[in-house]
A and B are shown apart, each in its own frame.
Chain A
Amino acid sequence: MNSLRAFKTLLRFSFLRLFWSVNTLMVLLPVVGCFLFILRRGFGKMTPPEKAFDAFSTFLVFVFSSFLIPICALGFGTTALGSEREDQTLVFLLTRPIPRWQILLAKILASLPLSCGIVLTSFAVYCVLVGSVGLKAFLIYWPAMLGMAVAYVSLFHLFAVIFRHPTMLALVYALFIELFVGNLPGSIKRLAINYYGRSLIYGLGAAEGLKTPRGFEGIPAAQAYWILAGISGGCLLAAFLLFQWKEYRDSP
């Protein structure tokens, strides 16, 4: 018996289970919706190019990073472990000779390429559709998109470790609490991942003439990167610690 072989089996099993799930379809639907929106909006035809860059960046702030990235992250991040809990199949993994931290690691490693892959691929496709302005936006913004995707996936894994029905909670969190808290005045908006994502986009886009909207007080891009990395690391660390000690009594 070989522990590494068992881990690889679990990783492969978790990845394929996520990939062939209905979640992939559910995530691809809004991705296709945004594709059609960009086609119709015609960012590439706008003149001057600064206006096109500005309009495309606004789309990235209010649609892509506020809606699509959280949906991709929860579609795979929450369900990697969450579906095992909701379906009461986690018991079959917990009674195998695989350390608990390896079970969670396999679930995270299975969901990250799917979430981040769909986020970056769809972003690249949208940028290609927009044209030269889009390509410029891709080179500037891809680290911000990746950072947000990783932060959301990490947070939603923590949700899955803590809550028995994490998907619904994550959906409510992503679509209501994040947007609501992220747009509140004062320092409370700093509790939302979305706030740091917007700070990054406005910060990175400033060099290309992107103006920060009135009322939004962002933080410098470098600081936003560090905070997103901190959120990701903190959520994952908390998830590992909790998963190591938590007793699951999800079965009836």
Chain B
Amino acid sequence: MIDLAPSSSNEFDLTFSGVTKFYGAVIGLNDLTCRIGPGITGLLGSNGAGKSTLLKLASGQLRPTQGEVRIGKLKTTSTSAKRLLGYCPDVPNLYEEMTGEEFVRTMCALHGFPDHEVRDRTQAVLQEVGMTDRAKRKIAGCSHGMRQRFKLAQALVHDPQVLLLDEPLTGIDPGGRQEINELLFRLAEKGKSILVSSHILHDIETLADQILVLGRSRLIASGSLAEIRRLLDDQPLLIEIIADDPRSLAAELMAFGQVLGCDIQENRLRVRTKNAPDFYARIQDLVVMGGQRVRQIQSLDEGAEAVFEYLQQGKHSS
């Protein structure tokens, strides 16, 4: 079993035991065994990798074809387990006719709290997600970022032990991301188990202590950020540079030992390197000292698809 829980066992650990999920003949998740404990765990994978299937199994919306998913001793499909779960789905629509406050209050009341507690919890959670001043606004008129925050609020309003967040940072501006990250850090400090999915490595990097990487419905890597990074650092990185004189820049870069190859298309230069930090330092030297004019540099390999490809290659070569 892959164990991402810090202590040996916890009352509210989320446990997948040999979980396989088929949708007819199509496999959604293949033989997943892991335990997720307190703290923030990142779930990384490209579209169709099985992230949403995993989260739907964890939130009890789907039943596994084989194996079982539990929170502590409770099956996630049970009503009791849902009291311990907060789920923020990756859906664009909410109850559009409601205000944000009405939405969160209704979701809270559906947990069976008395009226005064519903009111107090709603106000507290809206404050926590930074939506108190916009709580009276109709959801139909809210931006994507505001909807994300209301969705997060409904997932938190009953103070769950396990929080499942499906792409929660999509559409949120950098300032908002910082606020949400801080909120999640605070919840993690209180001992909550938080599983956050994303298809962007950077989103997960800044948040998670532990990472699960899914690819083609399988768990292909897991561990701390440093462990995942170590796996990635052994793989070459593809970087695209837009420069005024890509040919002379390519010649200078090829003299640098860490560059494995260059490809020039008009003013675009694509470089494959096996040591990204040294490469970026070298580029900086060439721009500052060598007089090269570089307009844009971007890594083409930060998406989950590339990470998945790297990890797959690593698996095959080892």
Contact = CB atoms under 8 A, between A and B. Distances in A.
Contact of A252 (B63, B91, B97): B91
B112 A93 contact: no
B111 A96 contact: yes
A42 interface: no
B142 interface: no
B154 A92 contact: yes
Interface string A1-39: 111111001100100010010000000000000000000
Q: Which bracket fits the contact residues of B?
A: 20 to 34
A80 to B, nearest CB: 14
A87 B91 CA distance: 9
A241 interface: no
Given A95-B59, A97-B80, A1 B111 contact: yes
Contacts of A95: 59-61, 82, 85, 87, 89
Which secondary structure dominates where chain A touches chain B? loop
Given A3-B112, A6-B112, A99-B79, A13 B106 contact: yes
B62 interface: yes
Q: Which bracket fits the contact residues of A?
A: 20 to 34
Given A1-B112, A5-B112, A5-B114, A92 B61 contact: no
Given A20-B97, A92-B154, A251 B112 contact: no
A236 to B, nearest CB: 21
Interface in A79-113: 87-89, 91-99
Nearest to A3: B112
A183 to B, nearest CB: 38
Contact of B110 (A10, A20, A87): A10
24 contacts: A2-B112, A2-B114, A5-B112, A5-B114, A9-B109, A9-B110, A10-B110, A13-B110, A89-B93, A89-B95, A91-B61, A91-B91, A92-B89, A95-B60, A95-B61, A96-B107, A96-B110, A98-B79, A98-B110, A247-B62, A249-B23, A249-B56, A251-B91, A252-B90
Interface of A: 1-6, 9-10, 13, 17, 20, 87-89, 91-99, 247-249, 251-252
